[in-house]
Structure 1
């Protein structure tokens, strides 16, 4: 709303300037007319040109910039994590987490602005209150806001079966991040904690998803350590509804640069290497590829303060919080490309009620 007001004010100011310039020009023309006798004809032509400028300006006032609809939102409500993945691009720069009532208020604002899907992420979202904070938000979004889709991205290491017993009914999709089916490679990447097996956790959570009727998904970041792997056999065995395959992404201030908490440069692969990986897995029907360009422009990301993050310039530039200025104002500074969102298949069958899965 603020941006629209500024645009209208600017156009009014432009018209005032044009009118003042017109008056000055007419005075000059009067002098020319006295001197040459041709002033009247020039004045007529000038007035016609001014009327045309006004007509175009008035017409343009009716065209207001299209405000994106927050159909699908990724809410990174915490930056804290128990893993240390070397390419992580949403690192523990703060320990802040909104009070749950403020988070719920923001989620309701998003629903009122058109949100259909919420994805909770981090950091590791199951860290806060041993998963209860997350569970309450999941229940609120499905039960109170009646959202068609509620999903989570987690590393899977802190999930317990009791969580599914309490909150599984309210969750549509659970995505577990897994970059390799070689335990040593996961350790090299940093996707591990102590002696715990990341792959054991992955298979355990997949089994619980089936038991408690939650759609299971896998996210993989393709990087220098796993780019030569063939994961087809494992993906077929785990049978996720979607396998999101991301090209390793560098974000200034997060995993690259002076103030970064990670150094992702050694994980970066070329576009051709990424394409070779995709070609090797082209027969995997659930695979959904995500290049760097798609990731930067086509996601609506909310940080722990409920600010939209604009990643177009290779860094995360925050808007003001939707709690302070509202969704419509903040989303204009999100850098969100709605066309790219649709092109990459961002809107899909995301409600488990519609999936008709065989549990």
Structure 2
């Protein structure tokens, strides 16, 4: 069983749903053939380990929403102590990390967003990373957080699967009746991003409940720097199977349906599609998520060297892009 301290989930997605208390990595291959015959296969793999250029840190599994398709379910409430989390981030920076993306669960839920804010500040101010980003459902974000930590954040991505409140209710992207509107939060946060100079992004999971929805008008109005569109994906043990906490089968759409949604929104220039074919490089080659040992225990190279990775697919899916707000030349 993997250490509960800092699991390393091998993935190349900047998704908002992957693994708890986990550093999940997107990397590029570091060239250089191994020379010599006196080392084991494992040592050779470590020697030729990949560079964690872009990292997703899913430091919590807890979430206040109940999205029916979510494949990052709350199996534990464990969150690393702040200083241990910082140590892991420092190790990743030393190994070549350029971009960190904080996710969950809902990352603003733990310690009312202050834990997240301190990590964001540390990554930008102390580690001087070119890009620091967050994926959130937006429900817990307050303007005070922007006032305290906004200057250290490059990109804030808000998950929004529909611009119809009834559809969001069916999906589970809501805190229940009588609570704040998910769409009101979305537009409010968009305004704060403009005010505090944080690049704004939207993530949407396309499923049976929204596959026929035309989102063009709203996306154009919100004008995100990127609109990441995911095809609903099943992961055994998370949102599918006997031990899963979700039953997402009813949300799954075909490849053809997903392509038809993309075709219907082809005029939206910021759209970046993420099909199931591209998302399967989560190290879920056996139909599940298999974490490595903790980077705090074995180091970055040892933790990532036994995974499968397709650099061509990483580039095709738009994994490398302009991710520092200083380079985006946005009109604030």
Structure 1 length normalisation: TM-score? 0.79
- Is the Cα contact below 8 Å between 1:70 and 1:114 reproduced in 2? yes
Using a 3 Å threshold, how does the CA distance of structure 1 residues 64 and 109 change in structure 2: closer, same or farther?
A: closer
Aligned to 1:104, what secondary structure does the other structure show? helix
Residue 337 of structure 1: CA displacement?
2.6
Aligned to 1:288, what secondary structure does the other structure show? strand
* Greater gyration radius: 1
**Within 2, Cα distance between the matches of 1:144 and 1:311?**
34
Given candidates 227, 251, 258, the residue that maps to 2:211 is 227
4+ residue runs over 6 A deviation: 61-65
RMSD: 1.9
State yes or no: 1:150 paired with 2:152.
no
Using a 3 Å threshold, how does the CA distance of structure 1 residues 138 and 334 change in structure 2: closer, same or farther?
A: farther
**Within 1, Cα distance between the matches of 2:185 and 2:39?**
57
Aligned to 2:291, what secondary structure does the other structure show? strand
Render the CA deviation track for 1:49-105: whole Å, top value 9, x for unaligned: xxxxxxxxxxxx999874221000111000000000000011101000000100000
Map of 2:221 onto structure 1: 237
Structure 2 matches for 1:4-23, cutoff 5 A?
8-9=38-39
Residue 248 of structure 1: CA displacement?
0.2
Residue 313 of structure 1: CA displacement?
2.3
Using a 3 Å threshold, how does the CA distance of structure 1 residues 128 and 64 change in structure 2: closer, same or farther?
A: closer
Map of 1:256 onto structure 2: 240
Render the CA deviation track for 1:171-191: whole Å, top value 9, x for unaligned: 000000000000000000000
Residue 312 of structure 1: CA displacement?
2.4
More contact order relative to length (CA 8 Å, sep ≥ 6): 2
Map of 1:247 onto structure 2: 231
| Count of aligned positions | 295
Structure 2 length normalisation: TM-score? 0.86
Is the deviation greater in 221-230 or in 338-347? 338-347
Aligned to 2:243, what secondary structure does the other structure show? coil
- Is the Cα contact below 8 Å between 2:45 and 2:306 reproduced in 1? no
Map of 2:325 onto structure 1: 352
**Within 1, Cα distance between the matches of 2:40 and 2:222?**
57
Map of 1:111 onto structure 2: 93
Using a 3 Å threshold, how does the CA distance of structure 1 residues 62 and 163 change in structure 2: closer, same or farther?
A: closer
**Within 1, Cα distance between the matches of 2:85 and 2:243?**
28
Map of 2:4 onto structure 1: none
